[in-house]
Amino acid sequence: MGTGVFLDVETMGGDISLAPISSLFNQWQQYQQTSSAQIIERCQSADVVIVNKVVLDASILRNLPQLKLIAVAATGMNNIDLDCAHQLGIKVVNVQGYAAPAVAQHCFNLLLQLAGRSRQYSQFIANDGWQKSSYFCNLDYPMMELNGKIFGVVGYGSLGQAAAKIAQAFGMKILVGERPKASTVREGRVSFEQLLMQSDVLSLHCPLSEDNALMIDKRALDKMKPSALLINTSRGCLVDEPALVAALSNNQIAGAALDVLSQEPPVDGNVLLDYKQPNLIITPHIAWATVEARTRCVAMLSENIKEVFVS
């Protein structure tokens, strides 16, 4: 099957096999990273280009006459000029659902750390607080019991449903929110405003769009309970980051845990990284990245490529 090129294989880690993909091609080339200036040269003879986050815009696509397929090693395809690809007859496929168990697990990893005040108690022990205590336990940092609390979900696709299933196992009640700017509320959902006001935990699982960018802004945060926790394992630009810092600083909400930021990596800094209090947890966009999820991603990429060329 022709020539295949993977432009940013580093994003998949070095601990899983790419053989399900590489074995499909007569000629195969992979690169750890690829700058925009290197793309055309590296892909000039490629029939299939595989990318995770490398941007393939119109100026690049028009200079790749051999290209027949772009296989995206992710669900989001905002790094591809889809209109131009369609005009040029280049097919674009992505992978969906591969990371649902991993993302849901990480969502609750973050939530349980906040609810159990893990950072505070770890620091308490590191500072010899327990060792010097005259009592068998310490109650300085009150913990939240999830049973009976309301788990509010924004984005009820495979990721939101997987997280909700875990929440139910903890005895939580599920509320599914309507889109922020929706004119009607679908059956089985509540308005976005109701979701904000009623949720004890608000968990974001929706793709980024023009309609929901910065939907968790000052107005939204003002509507949330002072005891509420915000979890974002979706996209950083769903949250107004300065507004979140202010809300955390002023105890408008009890805590937040984020796996995503507005710029990744945050090479120019970020106001959330400057906030050092323990009611904020940040992880480096790793919710999707268990070994099992990445292995599924490779397998699905292989099937996507085979399906296009067999059909």
Range in 133-137, 244-248, 258-262, 292-296 with the lowest mean pLDDT:
133-137
Task: Give catalytic status of residue 235 as yes or no.
Answer: yes
Q: Encode pLDDT of 120-170 as tens digits.
A: 999 999 999 999 998 899 999 999 999 999 999 999 999 999 999 999 999
Residues sharing a CB contact under 8 Å with residue 121, sequence separation 6 or more, in sequence order: 138, 141
Q: Residue 71 above 70 pLDDT?
A: yes
Question: Which one of the listed residues 264, 292, 303, 307 is annotated catalytic?
Answer: 264
- The conformation of residue 9, written as its DSSP 8-state character, comes to G
Give the residue, 174 or 183, on which the prediction is more confident.
174
Tell me which residue of 210, 263, 265, 203 sits closest to 234, measured CA to CA: 203
* Strands annotated E in the chain: 3-6, 27-30, 48-51, 69-72, 91-93, 150-154, 173-176, 201-204, 229-232, 255-258, 280-282
- What's the mean per-residue pLDDT of the chain? 95
Instruction: Classify domain 3-96+291-310 by CATH number.
Output: 3.40.50.720
Question: Which one of the listed residues 106, 179, 235, 296 is annotated catalytic?
Answer: 235
Please state, for a pLDDT cut of 70, what percent of the chain lies above it: 99
Instruction: Classify domain 100-282 by CATH number.
Output: 3.40.50.720
d(CA 121, CA 234): 28
Res 310: pLDDT? 67
Task: Give catalytic status of residue 145 as yes or no.
Answer: no
Omega prior to 265 cis, within 30 of 0: yes
Where are the domain boundaries for CATH 3.40.50.720 in the chain? 3-96+291-310, 100-282
Res 309: pLDDT? 82
Give exposure, 118-153, as e/b (b: 16+ Cβ within 10 Å).
bbebeebeeeeeeeeeeeeeeeeeeebebeebbbbb
Paired with 70 in beta bridges are 49, 92
Average pLDDT over residues 51-57: 96
d(CA 235, CA 68): 30
Task: Give catalytic status of residue 296 as yes or no.
Answer: no
CA 249 to each of CA 4, 13, 112, 256: distance values in angstroms, whole numbers, following the listed order:
50, 36, 21, 11
Q: Encode pLDDT of 177-236 as tens digits.
A: 999 988 899 999 999 999 999 999 999 999 888 889 999 999 999 999 999 999 999 999
Question: Which one of the listed residues 42, 119, 193, 285 is annotated catalytic?
Answer: 285
pLDDT band at 78 (very low <50, low <70, confident <90, very high): confident
pTM for the whole structure:
0.91
The terminus-to-terminus CA distance of the chain in angstroms comes to 13
Paired with 80 in beta bridges are 56
Q: Residue 1 above 90 pLDDT?
A: no
- The conformation of residue 38, written as its DSSP 8-state character, comes to G
Average pLDDT over residues 276-287: 96
SS3 helix, strand, coil % of the chain, rounded to 5? 35, 15, 50
**Residue 308: left if φ>0, alpha if ψ -120 to 50, beta else—which one?**
alpha
